[in-house]
Structure 1
Amino acid sequence: MTTEAPLTFNQQWLIREYASHPQRTAYNLAIAYRFDGQHDTATLQRALQYLSDRHQALRTRLKQNQGQWAQSIDPPGTPFQVICHDTPLMNDATAAGHRDRLAGQPFLLDGGPLFRVEICRVNTERLYLIMTAHHAMIDGWSSQRLMQDLTRHYAALCGLEAHPDNTPPGIGDIALRQQARLAAVSEPLQAYRQAVSQARCPRIPSAGGGKQRGGPLARLVITGYDGRTDSNGITPFVQGLCALTFALQQFNLLDGPVRIGFPEAGRHDPDLEDSAAFLANTLLGSFDLAGQRTWPEALQAIQTHVMQALSFRDIPAFWLQDLGWKGLDDRTDDLHVMVVPEQDFDWSLVLPGLQITSLGQAPSTQARVDLALTITSAPSGVLSSVWNTTASESPPMSLNVWPALSALA
């Protein structure tokens, strides 16, 4: 029997954006895999059915009734739709192109399925698995868990291990929990607003211009960290955030603290560790290095700012949209800046008798941020920065962050 549940916090703001732009594909997530070896399509489809039975998100739709939105959750056992077809000429390049085309097809949020799965058979020794989902149902952490569970279900069907025996809270259960905690979540909202309002989105000459957001204006990659926390408890994430804050304040047209966002998994409740849902939340912080004369002082200041932002981790970011971060339709000169530490996501599939290669995710062409900092590891031990600009006009921030860090040392 189909049951109903309220929307999760993240689904609420996605529905707002959908109402204005139903053809938008910014929140479509797609990934492709190549299977080499004697594949068994029937077993793969059965494993996908088990996956759907285990996770509500794969059998949930969003529906509107007289202006009110809710989740409509089909029961376990509801057939999970998988499209299978023969594609004898498909190779990695055409498979990636097909993945990208699927990612570019809008989902119908009002009643439509929010997962698409295709199995493209090349021959008896090769196939491609392409999965597309709407962000309303999953996030990066969920994708990892889905791949892990798909691996276990397939192995169980091959008689190599047991199926997962626990049932994690579903996306409907999560929405009900959020509604029950609404008052507690709302209580610190005013303090959060006050903390964020102390900073402003940075403005860089020629970088904003009120242009429509069509992808990251630039992406800064810092390599050379070994991924370890230093003796003072300062993580590579804090070090990278410190570098970015310093660089932004050097070029910002506005005085004072800068507003920077960073993702938080939303899984601090251990009970949600195995759940599939869009739980991640963007935290907005006020970051300022004014008066910090040494690198250790700067790191401690940023660490303090991060901990302050984390104290508001349960408050949805869209509750603060009037303070900035208005989304893809913002036409101001404000730069939306995000720090994304490279996650140790493991989206690999390891299925018996098969060699599986990930072709990666479809690239986003409608990113909600203008400038993204990605922190990654490299064995060289050298800190470097690289700008990859997708806008026609490069911002005057083509700088190496290393001199900025050296100035603080």
Structure 2
Amino acid sequence: MSQDNRARLKQWLASGQIRLQPLSYPQRELWEATPLPAGNVSNNICALIQVRGLLTPPGSEAALQKVVDRQEVLRLSILPGKEQPMQMIRRSAAPALRFHELSSAQGQPEAIEELAREIASQPFEMVQGPLYRAEVFRRSADEHVLVLVIHHAIADGWTLGVFVQDLFASYMQGVRGNHNALPPVPLTYSQWGAAERAFWQPAVLAPRLEFWQTHLAGAPRLWNTAVTGTLQRCVTQVSAELGRAVRELARCNGATLFSTLLTAFQITLSKWTGADDIVVGTPVANRNTQAARETMGYCSGIVPLRGQIDRTRSFADSLRTVHQTTVESFAHAIPFAELVRALGVATPDGHNPLFEVRFALQNHPIPDVAVPGLSLQLRMRSTGTARFNLACEINEEGDAMEVAWLFQPNQFTLTDIQQVGRMYLDVLAGVCHSPEILTAALMTTLR
């Protein structure tokens, strides 16, 4: 840090304009484990919010200001340090909002997507902040798109739903002539982080670490290709008919939808890679109280799930095992940074410590909110999962599902990912038709 910035920091601290807090567990893990250089944008989360109704620049700015006042992560930046980076929380901050008028050509969906990519490709100033930007594009008098780009250090998938709800409530207050502040959150992000640090004492960690030391012993790596930080996206669709069949398969076998989708994914990955011992990481919300559910911030953790594929067993039998293993793994979840530290895993630069693949069923609330005259509809575009070679993220859309594949283009081609996407759909269709099919027989049908 420059001498000028040091002097400015001392002045801010003395005046009470900012306060310093330790990084939360998820922030620390991101800071320590992200194998990416400063200024890389692959930890940027990008979402598009479709807004229908009359939206004015003054009203939008006033609404966002109330959300900034309520949610401290929108006033947060990161003060680096060799040993102990800190959260730097400002007492107040102006909203980072810009308004743009679009021509009819610029307002086409493809053009909006390109604008969103450009906005998401700009790095954040981690010390100066803010660690988000919001840009509104007016397509017509009553149709707008809000592009929200927010750094993973202050956000997870759940955060986006909270943002939409708060912004909607704030804007509607203004429409009704209510200029009061939003009610304070019952638990700020820094308070959530402090509670986590207080809970995870050695006596709590020890028995859980014992489970992981046994469960992950001898687990192989799937690939040795370093992460570049640049992800590409490919989407496949699970039809409503197949989606209903998968849910019925889960119900009949006493399993969850997640476990059923995961079992099929492990079989797909085994066929595709030739590996029979696979570890994937899956996110957990870490919001176990209503108070935590109302705050924006990076709260989610990640849990390793190990699957050992036995080709002599039926899918239904494998599903029961995967379901039981998943329940046990979630029950022993601990902060990922603590797990990596305790296991003493040697991690080469550009590699994730324990696994190369992320698998997620996105079940956090991303609400579509509406009243007569105004509606907001949020859609994810990038989830800040750059630390993996491959990610499979499934979003439920009624009975159907969207399967988003995020991949490292230095390792996989689009054709590769389209192939694995088709293979996954074939596995799901095959096991719904014949749950007792042996895994070996199922694999022979895949191309």
Looking at structure 2, the residues matched to 132 and 14 of structure 1 have their Cα atoms a distance apart, in angstroms, of 17
Contact 1:236-1:375 at 8 Å conserved across structures = no
| Mapped pair 1:152 → 2:169 | yes
| Mapped pair 1:40 → 2:61 | no
| Mapped pair 1:243 → 2:250 | no
Please report how far the alpha carbon of residue 80 of structure 1 lies from its aligned counterpart in structure 2 after TM superposition.
2.5
Please report how far the alpha carbon of residue 374 of structure 1 lies from its aligned counterpart in structure 2 after TM superposition.
3.1
Alignment of 1:172-187 (within 5 A): 172-184=190-202, 186-187=205-206
Instruction: Quickly say closer, same or farther: Cα 1:202–1:232, change in 2 above 3 A.
Output: same
**Which of 55, 71, 79 is the aligned partner of 2:87?**
71
Residue of structure 2 in register with 1:170 after alignment: 188
Residue of structure 1 in register with 2:243 after alignment: 225
Please report how far the alpha carbon of residue 139 of structure 1 lies from its aligned counterpart in structure 2 after TM superposition.
0.6
Residue of structure 2 in register with 1:330 after alignment: 351
Gaps of 5+ in 2: 1-15, 440-447
Contact 1:10-1:316 at 8 Å conserved across structures = yes
**Which of 123, 127, 138 is the aligned partner of 1:106?**
123
Q: What CA deviation, in whole Å up to 9, does each residue of 1:81-101 have, x standing for no partner? A: 323454556414433322211
3-state SS of the aligned residue for 1:275? coil
Q: What CA deviation, in whole Å up to 9, does each residue of 1:318-373 have, x standing for no partner? A: 742878796982399x9722322143642435365235565653587946242526
Looking at structure 2, the residues matched to 293 and 246 of structure 1 have their Cα atoms a distance apart, in angstroms, of 12
Please report how far the alpha carbon of residue 300 of structure 1 lies from its aligned counterpart in structure 2 after TM superposition.
1.5
| Mapped pair 1:25 → 2:41 | yes
Residue of structure 2 in register with 1:8 after alignment: 24
Looking at structure 2, the residues matched to 407 and 232 of structure 1 have their Cα atoms a distance apart, in angstroms, of 14
Instruction: Quickly say closer, same or farther: Cα 1:218–1:304, change in 2 above 3 A.
Output: farther
Please report how far the alpha carbon of residue 178 of structure 1 lies from its aligned counterpart in structure 2 after TM superposition.
2.3
TM-score (norm 2): 0.75
Contact 1:33-1:357 at 8 Å conserved across structures = yes
Q: What CA deviation, in whole Å up to 9, does each residue of 1:189-237 have, x standing for no partner? A: 243233123433446xxxx766856436987765523346515531121
Q: What CA deviation, in whole Å up to 9, does each residue of 1:61-90 have, x standing for no partner? A: 111357531111122x53323234545564
Looking at structure 1, the residues matched to 235 and 142 of structure 2 have their Cα atoms a distance apart, in angstroms, of 39
Deviates more, 1:258-267 or 1:38-47: 38-47
Contact 2:233-2:405 at 8 Å conserved across structures = no
Contact 1:29-1:132 at 8 Å conserved across structures = yes
Contact 1:263-1:281 at 8 Å conserved across structures = yes
Contact 1:212-1:330 at 8 Å conserved across structures = no
Q: What CA deviation, in whole Å up to 9, does each residue of 1:14-46 have, x standing for no partner? A: 223569501211111122334444323222211
Deviates more, 1:136-145 or 1:166-175: 166-175
Letter in 1 for 2:259: V
Looking at structure 2, the residues matched to 103 and 279 of structure 1 have their Cα atoms a distance apart, in angstroms, of 22
Contact 2:185-2:291 at 8 Å conserved across structures = no
Deviates more, 1:133-142 or 1:354-363: 354-363
Residue of structure 2 in register with 1:118 after alignment: 135
Letter in 2 for 1:192: W
Instruction: Quickly say closer, same or farther: Cα 1:341–1:125, change in 2 above 3 A.
Output: closer
Looking at structure 1, the residues matched to 175 and 404 of structure 2 have their Cα atoms a distance apart, in angstroms, of 46
Instruction: Quickly say closer, same or farther: Cα 1:158–1:63, change in 2 above 3 A.
Output: same
Looking at structure 1, the residues matched to 380 and 31 of structure 2 have their Cα atoms a distance apart, in angstroms, of 27
More helix by share: 2
Deviates more, 1:137-146 or 1:309-318: 309-318
Looking at structure 1, the residues matched to 219 and 384 of structure 2 have their Cα atoms a distance apart, in angstroms, of 28
Please report how far the alpha carbon of residue 142 of structure 1 lies from its aligned counterpart in structure 2 after TM superposition.
1.0
Looking at structure 1, the residues matched to 115 and 390 of structure 2 have their Cα atoms a distance apart, in angstroms, of 27
Alignment of 1:179-328 (within 5 A): 179-184=197-202, 186-187=205-206, 188-202=208-222, 212=228, 214-215=230-231, 223=239, 224-226=242-244, 227=247, 230-250=251-271, 252-254=273-275, 257-290=277-310, 293-316=313-336, 319-320=339-340
3-state SS of the aligned residue for 1:287? strand
Letter in 2 for 1:82: L
Looking at structure 2, the residues matched to 366 and 384 of structure 1 have their Cα atoms a distance apart, in angstroms, of 20
Deviates more, 1:20-29 or 1:80-89: 80-89
**Which of 437, 440, 446 is the aligned partner of 1:407?**
437
Please report how far the alpha carbon of residue 140 of structure 1 lies from its aligned counterpart in structure 2 after TM superposition.
0.6
Contact 2:351-2:387 at 8 Å conserved across structures = no
Q: What CA deviation, in whole Å up to 9, does each residue of 1:108-157 have, x standing for no partner? A: 21332101122344665454422211010011111101101111122222
**Which of 47, 70, 74 is the aligned partner of 1:58?**
74
Contact 1:96-1:359 at 8 Å conserved across structures = no
Letter in 2 for 1:16: E
